[in-house]
Amino acid sequence: MEIQLSMLILEVRDLSTSIAFYRDLGLDVPDPPPGRPVVIHRMGSGVSLLLTTSFAATYDPAWSRPTGGYQQLLEFYVGEDAAVDQRWADLVAAGHPSRMPPTQTAGPYAAMVDDPDGNVVLLTSDESARVDPDDTRLARSAPAFVER
């Protein structure tokens, strides 16, 4: 199975300010669900942009607001849970730093590793992150992994 870049997650300081910016940019970013610090916009390419204020802070104990660190996660849907385990193990064995071993989060099964430039790659089995090339509808709800 070919892996797919499915979602760009931006950990933002102020959700409403970020929503306004991306709307100004021309994206049809929805309002966040009541009581949830997250919005998602699926682009015509099938890749989604997710804005949140809490994912990294919740699941990465080493994360702090960057002064030189990261603010985004590149999510790759890799298939079933076993594929997350294997892909993570292969990357860590190749010397790539792990941020989070395979873990059942509040939603999907996922793991995090750093790429060579320090960008964080989220490996997931979250079906809502799977890109369906025939489905270009805008996603209007947050994927399962975001805290409810």
> What is the number of residues in the chain?
148
Q: What is the pLDDT of residue 128?
A: 72
Q: Copy the structure tokens of residue 49.
A: 């942009």
Distance of CA 44 to CAs 19, 27, 30, 135, Å? 18, 11, 15, 9
Q: What is the pLDDT of residue 137?
A: 44
Q: Please determine, for residue 39, whether its predicted confidence score (pLDDT) is greater than 90.
A: yes
- Give me the residues paired with residue 39 across strands: 51
Residue 72: pLDDT band with limits 50, 70, 90: confident
Q: Please state, in angstroms and rounded to a whole number, the distance separating the CA atoms of residues 13 and 54.
A: 9
Q: Please, what is the average pLDDT of the chain?
A: 83
Which of 29-38, 112-121, 139-148 has the highest average model confidence (pLDDT)?
Answer: 29-38
Q: Please state, in angstroms and rounded to a whole number, the distance separating the CA atoms of residues 98 and 121.
A: 10
- Of the chain, the percentage scoring pLDDT greater than 90 comes to 36
Residues near 68 by beta carbon (within 8 Å), at least 6 away in sequence: none
Residues 47-71, mean pLDDT to the nearest whole number: 84
Q: Kindly report the CATH number that applies to the domain delimited by 4-129.
A: 3.10.180.10
Positive/negative CA dihedral, 92, 89, 117, 40 = negative
Q: What is the pLDDT of residue 101?
A: 98
Residue 134: pLDDT band with limits 50, 70, 90: low
Residue, of 129 and 24, whose pLDDT is higher: 24
Q: What is the pLDDT of residue 135?
A: 55
Global pTM value: 0.61
